[in-house]
Amino acid sequence: LSPKHHIFETPLFLDESLLGQLSTRVRTGNGCTETHIRPTGIPPHVAILCEMKWVKDGLVDTLSKIETTRTDTVKDIITELEKGEFRRVQSDFAIPDCSVRQMWLLWVYGNKTKQIPPLRQLDGRDMPSRKLQKRLSQLRYVMSKIEKAAASKNLLHDSQNVDEATQVFVACAGSVDVDRRTEHSRKRRRGQLSWATVGKLLRKMAKQQ
């Protein structure tokens, strides 16, 4: 109502003490669920405003879910633009020195915590340096031995979890076996050899055959 409306000139509004007493008995609000009151004698536009508030809250919730989904999707496929090329790994990426077994898991499963995709999906263009390109090629040589053995046993699948990938390695570990003893007849701890060392030994064995 306009402040100049005649109702404000009636005794009800002129008696301040009466207004004070009545105000303690009147509950006000917009009629939304949170206020637990029902509108009475309120213009229709108030109910419309309430509905608009519900719509707004719903839109905010939906947008929040979309943003969360978008962020998760971006994290799943990390790309970095450098020198006009998209890479699926970051510029500080490095192929770790670890056992063949651990590397096999990275090869087929990746590391979601570090946002690293399965290494078998990468190629030389993804590597930040020529040194890493060469290292990836060396890694592929070792992993191809296991892949070939797994394929011959019908164990090679596009999508595998950690447990499944581990079982495949156990079944195909013989494909990357190296001599139990060194040239100086010392016993090798084969399970502790890095994948790079195993790769060098496999290439050496291949040349001797």
Q: Where are the domains of the chain?
A: 6-76, 93-208
What percentage of the chain carries pLDDT values higher than 70? Answer: 71
Helix ranges, 81-129 (H)? 100-108
How large a percentage of the chain has pLDDT more than 90?
34
Give pLDDT, residue 160.
Answer: 84
What DSSP letter does each residue of 37-80 carry, written as one string? ----S--HHHHHHHHHHHHHHHHHHHHHHHHHHHHHHHHHS--E
Q: In this predicted structure, what is the pLDDT of residue 71? A: 64
pTM over 0.85: no
Residues 122-146: tens digit of each pLDDT:
999 999 899 999 999 999 999 999 9
